[in-house]
Amino acid sequence: MMKNKVGKQTLQFSSMPRIIGAHALVGEKEGKGPMAKWFDTILEEDTYGEKTWEKSESKMLKQSLLLALQQSGLEKDQIDIILSGDLINQIMSSSYMARDLAIPFLGVYGACSTMTESMTLGSIMIDGGYAANVLVGASSHYCTAERQFRLPLEHGNHRPPSAQWTATAAGGMVLSANNKGDKAVKQGKEVKELYISHATVGKIIDTGIKDANQMGAAMAPAAVDTIIRHLTDTGRTPDFYDIILTGDLGHIGKDIAIDLLSGAGLQVSNNYDDCGVLLFDKKQDTHSGGSGCGCSACIFSGYIYKEMRLGKIKNALLISTGALLSTISSQQGESIPGIAHAVAVTTEGVS
């Protein structure tokens, strides 16, 4: 009997794993956007003192995880496992980060859905009694993603209006079975605790889109499918959540998601937004908005985490979205499979 599963795709965590530390690190462009005040670290330049973009991204991820750990008040030897991923082939940023930290590691790849996938797996491990403290994270870098998935920056190619700007960003969080940790708690501040109550594992939705510059359109149906499934499984309505936040659909994908949800009889205009829309100002010329593993990772680890700690958001649903393409699949004319995983976070310690 599956006592911890509700409905067809949703997991309910009886132990309510806590988020006891978080850190959002972003690049220079992201640090000039509308969410700047919510980020913990803003780089002065995106090389981060390294000789290659790939080394820069791995350093960003490592630093965000270490600073999340520092905020939690735990020591490195108290972490049972790291769950992390990125967009580079063989999740290089995460693998090299884990090599340096020398903590047991499971690499995760869900494209831009990696943050909620890591949070889901970490919560399963804690709820199942397999770990007490788990470090989760995800990263992306504009320059590494462009070089791998599209064309080298040196070519100076023009980007179509539908294209999104891969976030140079990383987010890290500490999930724990107990409430020990977080500097704010130690300093006696009146802050809320964050609990992960549910996770809805998405299924791949492929509508046949083949254009790698139409990521939002490719991912939006998967996001909608997961949102509907989560609400159906839990018996909740959209207004249960103070905010419903998709990962990185951007402006085009967000509009598609709203239309599809409306067609399904769900009105979300009052509490729905998208991390790719929030990350950049339209004046920054990112076309359809932000994308990348680091997009939802930095928005949640920065903005959402802090607002929930302050009690301004009580219930949040994060749906990180991923386009599961590769350079080879695009060159061979294959369509782009979309995926979306949802995590429900609350400041109320009951399911």
> For the domain that residue 300 is a member of, what is the CATH number?
3.40.47.40
CA distance 40 to 56: 17
Question: Which position has the token pair 């409905």?
Answer: 7
Based on the fold, state whether residues 212 and 335 are members of the same structural domain: yes
Q: What is the pLDDT of residue 3?
A: 82
Q: What is the pLDDT of residue 351?
A: 43
Q: Residue 274 to residues 20, 185, 218, 220, 280: CA-CA distances in angstroms?
A: 24, 30, 15, 11, 11
Based on the fold, state whether residues 18 and 139 are members of the same structural domain: yes
pLDDT tier, 181 (very low <50, low <70, confident <90, very high otherwise): low
Based on the fold, state whether residues 204 and 154 are members of the same structural domain: no
Instruction: Answer yes or no: is pLDDT of 37 > 50.
Output: yes
Kindly state whether residue 190 falls inside one of the protein's structural domains. Answer: no
Based on the fold, state whether residues 328 and 231 are members of the same structural domain: yes
Examine the fold and report which residue of 142, 176, 210 is the final residue of a domain before the chain moves on.
Answer: 176
% residues pLDDT > 90 (the chain) = 79
pLDDT tens, 252-266? 999 999 999 999 999
pLDDT tens, 201-243? 999 999 999 988 888 999 999 999 999 999 999 999 999 999 9
pLDDT tier, 185 (very low <50, low <70, confident <90, very high otherwise): very low
The tokens for 67 are 């600073």
Task: Find the angle CA(178)-CA(182)-CA(186) to the nearest 5 degrees.
Answer: 100
Find the domain containing 254 and state its range. 197-346
CA distance 26 to 28: 7
Of 124 and 331, the structure prediction assigns the larger pLDDT to: 124
Among residues 59, 194, 74, 70, the alpha carbon closest in space to that of 132 is found at: 74
CA distance 198 to 330: 34
Based on the fold, state whether residues 205 and 313 are members of the same structural domain: yes
Instruction: Answer yes or no: is pLDDT of 151 > 70.
Output: no
- Which runs of consecutive H residues, i.e. helices, occur in 102-214? 114-127, 142-149, 183-186
Domain count, the chain: 2
Examine the fold and report which residue of 143, 176, 209 is the final residue of a domain before the chain moves on.
Answer: 176
Q: What is the pLDDT of residue 153?
A: 57
